[in-house]
């Protein structure tokens, strides 16, 4: 299908408008809904959808957003429970005692700990928790925030219970085999990024003999666990990799013969994550259990197709992703929540009113998160069903051809810099990357890996994420200094991702 140039220009308007408004510091939630309204008007007046077809796109967007929110919102509640009970403080105290040298402090507090926290929370929380610990150990606030942003970024796609990954999978509308390929390819590339990130973080401070091989060993451990777990359940990738990193730190960082922190508090504090990982591994990887769970009826309503202008059409199809009640991350996060409350009560960490405080904080945060995600998934659905994504993809494929592989990751980075979120970047650009991939004869999984890996890297220079860290570390309004410190390392990471993508194209197609 060949699109007129003017149609591609009109299709770009919503994305350009979103970029301009966000750069002018308009709130992302309000902007997402405003731009969705603009896209809907263009879909009706220019791209030929009727009201019924626009309604179908709306249902599709709400379904995708709801599916993702059933992961994100319980994960945020789990984080609030850990925070309000003091379990995170116990983890932080233990971290203080594990690292005896400045270089090892950076590895633990700017690389491993925020990556672990990203597995459950995300949305800036890992930086807000980790950077102040470095400041307390004498690291300059700007240096601390910049190092944490650089160290944790690799974990974002499979963090927050995999919300960024699932956003990319859903908006690109991948079939299950394609989704598995995307997950594994992404895990491999992000594992490499993890190893490089650890070495880059170590350069931010004064290192001691042996620190470099320790950074390499910890990065490799987390990379291998990431790949192994993502093959079973993407939602647990960063959680499991972060846990493995903490164990590696426990073994490798202290001086020989130095006593470790009290292990009982650590085990209790990390118990929900251990249960979450073990339960999901059983549910997804044990063949007999998986077969039993597969027999539970799935929910996937079939939606009618649409016929837009310029000959573009979408077929009648079931919504994606399919909701499988026992093969969705939701029941496993709920189990972890129950374990957390019981364990912390028995340990004496659950003061009267803790539950109310956690629910109150969770409710405030959830409103903003839910509104943002729904606005972005609706925008992605309208752009896709109206053919606007296809029009842009046709233009980019014609102009750039195979060279689009070079800009795949930087496009993801741009999306995160604009929106402050890999999830939002994937909502905007995942379907575009998949369409371009098909147009230039590359597997969609390859460009989607570039999209989400580049989106992760964007967190290291995203003003919104940096602002969360500077506020927590006592460096408010110094975000520009933080971002400038990370520019060179961001370029290094983008080059690493490009080499990995090129290798995938060459080896796997």
For residue range 51-61, list pLDDT tens digits in order. 999 999 999 88
- The set of residues, in sequence order, having a beta carbon less than 8 Å from that of 373 and lying 6+ positions away, is 65, 68, 69, 72, 167, 423, 427
Mean pLDDT of 484-499: 94
Least confident of 86-100, 158-172, 389-403, 457-471: 86-100
> Quick check: 1 pLDDT over 60?
no
Whether the CB-CB separation of 493 and 454 falls below 8 Å is answered with no
Confidence band for 122, pLDDT divided at 50, 70 and 90: low
What is the dihedral sign for C-alpha 78, 79, 81, 86? positive
- The pair of three-digit structure tokens given for residue 268, joined into one six-digit string: 């209790």
> Quick check: 481 pLDDT over 90?
no
- In terms of residue numbers, what domain contains 200? 5-508
Whether the CB-CB separation of 90 and 220 falls below 8 Å is answered with no
pLDDT digits (tens, 9 = 90+) for 447-468: 999 999 999 999 998 877 787 7
d(CA 27, CA 21): 8
The predicted pLDDT at position 198 comes to: 95
Average pLDDT, the chain: 86
The predicted pLDDT at position 452 comes to: 96
The predicted pLDDT at position 13 comes to: 92
d(CA 219, CA 196): 8
- The pair of three-digit structure tokens given for residue 333, joined into one six-digit string: 């996060």
- Highest mean pLDDT of the ranges 136-140, 158-162, 227-231: 227-231
Domains contained in the chain, number = 1
pLDDT digits (tens, 9 = 90+) for 430-447: 988 998 898 888 889 999
d(CA 320, CA 308): 21
- The set of residues, in sequence order, having a beta carbon less than 8 Å from that of 251 and lying 6+ positions away, is none
Which residue has better confidence, 114 or 428? Answer: 114
Mean pLDDT of 342-365: 90
The predicted pLDDT at position 258 comes to: 65
Which residue has better confidence, 473 or 191? Answer: 191
> Quick check: 343 pLDDT over 80?
yes
Least confident of 23-27, 178-182, 415-419, 457-461: 23-27
Alpha carbon distances (Å) from 36 to 41, 58, 61, 233, 262: 9, 10, 11, 32, 52
The predicted pLDDT at position 123 comes to: 60
pLDDT digits (tens, 9 = 90+) for 324-334: 888 887 888 89
> Quick check: 188 pLDDT over 90?
yes
């Amino acid at each position: 299908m060949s699109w007129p140039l003017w149609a591609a220009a009109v299709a770009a308007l919503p994305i350009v408008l979103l970029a301009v408004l966000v750069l002018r510091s308009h709130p992302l939630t309000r902007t997402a809904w405003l731009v969705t309204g603009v896209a809907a008007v263009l879909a009706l007046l220019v791209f030929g959808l009727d009201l019924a077809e626009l309604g179908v796109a709306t249902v599709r967007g709400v379904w995708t957003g709801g599916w993702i929110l059933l992961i994100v919102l319980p994960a945020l509640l789990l984080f609030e429970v850990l925070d309000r009970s003091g379990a995170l403080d116990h983890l932080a105290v233990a971290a203080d005692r594990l690292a005896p040298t400045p270089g090892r402090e950076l590895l633990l507090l700017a690389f491993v700990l925020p990556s672990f926290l990203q597995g459950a929370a995300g949305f800036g929380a890992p930086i807000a928790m980790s950077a102040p610990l470095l400041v307390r150990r004498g690291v300059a606030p700007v240096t601390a925030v910049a190092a944490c942003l650089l160290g944790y970024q690799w974990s974002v796609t499979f963090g927050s219970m995999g919300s960024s990954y699932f956003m990319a999978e859903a908006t690109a509308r991948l079939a299950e085999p394609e989704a598995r390929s995307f997950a594994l390819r992404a895990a491999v590339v992000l594992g490499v990024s993890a190893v490089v990130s650890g070495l880059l973080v170590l350069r931010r401070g004064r290192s001691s003999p042996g620190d470099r091989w320790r950074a390499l060993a910890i990065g490799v451990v987390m990379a291998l666990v990431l790949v192994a777990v993502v093959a079973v359940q993407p939602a647990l990738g960063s959680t499991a990799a972060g846990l493995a990193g903490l164990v590696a730190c426990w073994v490798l960082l202290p001086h020989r013969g130095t006593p470790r922190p009290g292990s009982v508090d650590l085990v209790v504090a990390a118990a929900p994550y251990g249960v979450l990982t073990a339960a999901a591994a059983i549910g997804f990887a044990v063949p007999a259990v998986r077969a039993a769970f597969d027999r539970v009826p799935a929910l996937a309503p079939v939606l009618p197709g649409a016929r837009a202008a310029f000959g573009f059409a979408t077929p009648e199809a079931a919504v994606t992703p399919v909701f499988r009640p026992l093969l969705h991350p939701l029941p496993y996060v709920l189990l972890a929540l129950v374990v957390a409350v019981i364990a912390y009560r028995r340990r004496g960490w659950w003061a009267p009113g803790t539950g109310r405080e956690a629910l109150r904080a969770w409710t405030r945060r959830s409103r903003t998160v839910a509104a943002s995600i729904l606005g972005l998934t609706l925008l992605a659905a309208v752009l896709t069903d109206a053919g606007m994504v296809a029009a842009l993809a046709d233009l980019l494929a014609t102009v750039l051809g195979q060279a689009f592989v070079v800009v795949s990751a930087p496009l993801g980075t741009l999306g995160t810099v604009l929106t402050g979120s890999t999830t939002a970047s994937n909502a905007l650009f995942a379907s575009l990357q998949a369409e371009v991939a098909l147009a230039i004869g590359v597997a969609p999984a390859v460009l989607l890996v570039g999209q989400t890996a580049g989106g992760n890297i964007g967190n290291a220079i995203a003003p919104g994420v940096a602002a969360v860290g500077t506020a927590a570390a006592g460096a408010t309004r110094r975000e520009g200094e933080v971002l400038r410190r990370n520019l060179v390392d961001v370029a290094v990471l983008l080059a690493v991702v490009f080499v990995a993508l090129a290798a995938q194209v060459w080896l796997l197609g």
